[in-house]
Structure formats: C-alpha cells, structure tokens
Amino acid sequence: MISDMLDIRELRKTFGAGKVALDGVSFAVRPGEMFGFVGANGAGKTTTMRIVMGVLGADSGEVTWQGRSLGFAERRGFGYMPEERGLYQKMKVGEQVDYFGRLHGLSPAAAAKAVDELLVRLGLTERRGDAVEALSLGNQQRVQLAVALVHDPEVLVLDEPFSGLDPLAVDALAEVLQERARGGVPVIFSSHQLELVERLCDSIGIISAGRMVASGTVDELRAAEGERLRVVVREAKPGWADGLPGELTVAGDREILVVRGGDDQAILRAALEAGRVEHFGAERPSITEIFKEAVS
C-alpha cells in the first residue's frame, strides 16, 4: 500500500568542519494534519525544512510524498514560507501574488482569480496596490502566506509563519491554515510560540541539537509524561512545603507546588494547614513543560 503521508526518514546533514546539523531526523505528516515543529534556535528546524523543499541536499536519508521521492515536479506543488522572507519590496501586493502564481504554472485567469480570493481571505484587499515595503510586518506576513497558497498547494511547509505578529494577525493566519488542513493538506510549521502550537496542532515534533527527542500527537506526548498533582495555596505560611516532594514556585500571594508521585493526602493536609487552598488536582503537563524537559 502506498503511503499518502509526507514522510521524512533518517535525515542527516553536516556542515563545515564536522558540525552536525541533523542526526537521523524522522517524522511523518498525514493529510489534513497540522504538525508543529519546535526546538531552540539552531536545533535543525530550518535545515530540515530546506531539505524537504530541495533548497539543501541531505547527506543521507529520504523525503517522500505519497510514497514517491521528491523531485522538482513534486515540490512545485508544495507551498513554502522560508525563514528569510522572499518578497520583492518594491512590487505591489497584488502583482506580487500574481507573479508567484504564474511562476507556479497558473494561467493568467487562474492566477487573477486566486489573487482576488486570497487578498479577500487574508484581509489585504485595500492594500492591493501598495508596495510591500509600505506594509507593516503583519501584513507582509500575510502577503508571504498568500504567495505560499496561491497555487493551491498539496503540502504546506512554513518556517516561523507567526513570528512577530500581533494576536489579530496570528488568529487570521491560523484560521487560514486550519481551513487548508481541513481540506486535506498536510501542514508543517515551526514556531517558538508553544502555547500556539499546542492550540493548533494535531501532532508535534521536538528537535534538539539535530535529533528528534519527542514526537507524537499532543495527547500522546502529554500522556507519556503522566499526570502531576498541582496545588495552589494563597497566603501560605512560610516553609509549609519543606519536606514535601515536588517543585514550589511563588506568584504574588500564591504558592504553587507541582508534584509527580508522593502521598496526595499528606500534601493536601499540609496545604490546608498552610493557608487557603485555591486549587488541588491532577493535571497533565503542558507542551511548554514537555518541551523544557525534553531539551534539558
């Protein structure tokens, strides 16, 4: 049976004097899935995306789509938003998107139709005749996304698409990506905004120093870490958590104890004696917590 996934297998890449950028990176993205690719600066996210798009060659490993190795023809059907934005600053917005549509092989009529639809969808209609250099960063990001979407791509590969955006622009871009995913398009995007990744993504891959250190659905990653007991006490007596397991943090008049394991009844008694218990319950870790633990 031929896989319909975008499959990245055992990618390895070394630069210069033995600097290892990727060391066996593997993951897969299914049609209609949003995959969040997260890691610190220099972890290997951009290198992986460049190899997927053919901008860089891998030393070894393979990238396949629908069971086939990627060549120029296959990649031409992908939508790519690079880390270094590739817009012509002097060109007008509408002309820019049309130009890239034509580069992807659209007819003049098809390109014009796609431009009209995307400018409306991304809130750029009033900026159609403006030069890119006159736009805010958020609107330039919207134009860059329009360029990536103009040819109705089969796969979307986006490097930090939400970087530097205000909340309204984030919501607008997120909604468009979710629409594409619902239409069956695999979407990969990298981001340092872990709360956003957790909110939007079906699956997540965490990369550190060129290695995938965790990968799976959000539920799988959170379940693998197990539940933790979280206790919040207001106006607690000093030293109330001394001798208790876990990590204690202070936020204003709240003291927060997070415990994995331990005697929950003994912890509850200590908390009740210490002050007003505002919260006491088991919860799974956030993706931010999982990320910190995975790369530490």
Q: Is 60 exceeded by the pLDDT of residue 61?
A: yes
To which CATH superfamily is domain 6-223 assigned?
P-loop containing nucleotide triphosphate hydrolases (3.40.50.300)
For range 4-18, the mean pLDDT: 91
* Mean pLDDT on 61-81: 91
What is the predicted pLDDT for the residue at 199? Answer: 92
Structure tokens given for 220: 């799988």
Predicted confidence band of residue 1 (pLDDT cuts 50, 70, 90): very low
Higher pLDDT, 224 or 270: 270
Identify the pLDDT of residue 36.
96
- Residues 100-107 have a mean pLDDT of 93
Task: List pLDDT tens digits, range 154-170.
Answer: 999 999 998 878 888 88
Taking a C-beta distance cutoff of 8 angstroms, is the pair 212, 27 a contact? yes
pLDDT at 38 over 90: yes
284 or 211: which leads in pLDDT: 211
Quick check: 14 and 210 in contact, CB under 8 A? no
Match 């004696």 to its residue by tokens: 273
Please give the CATH number for the structural domain made up of 226-295.
3.30.70
Encode pLDDT of 225-266 as tens digits. 777 888 999 999 999 999 888 889 998 899 999 888 778 899
Question: CA nearest 290: which of 264, 256, 245, 260?
Answer: 260
Q: What is the pLDDT averaged over residues 181-195?
A: 94
Q: What is the pLDDT, as a whole number, of residue 129?
A: 95
Burial of 202 (0-12, 13-18, 19+ CB in 10 A): middle
Instruction: Parse the chain into domains and list their residue ranges.
Output: 6-223, 226-295
Residue 109 confidence (pLDDT): 96
CA dist 24 and 38 (Å) reads 16
pLDDT, position 132:
92
Strands 60-65 and 155-159: unpaired
6-223 shares its CATH topology with 226-295: no
**Residue 187's pLDDT is what?**
97
Percent of the chain with pLDDT over 70: 99
Calculate mean pLDDT across residues 175-186. Answer: 94
How confident is the model over 135-147, as pLDDT tens digits?
A: 988 888 889 999 9
pLDDT for 3: 64
Contact (CB, 8 A) for 200 and 156: no
Could you tell me what percent of the chain has a pLDDT over 90? 64
With contact defined as beta carbons under 8 Å apart, do 200 and 174 qualify?
Answer: yes
**Residue given tokens 């992807």 in the structure block:** 104
Query: Residue 204 above 90 pLDDT?
Result: yes
Question: 123 with 172: CB under 8 angstroms?
Answer: yes
Nearest to 79 by CA among 159, 174, 157: 157
Q: Is the dihedral of CA 172, 120, 153, 99 positive or negative?
A: negative
Q: Can you tell me the mean pLDDT for 11-29?
A: 93
What global pTM score does this model have? Answer: 0.82
Would you state the pLDDT for residue 182?
Answer: 95
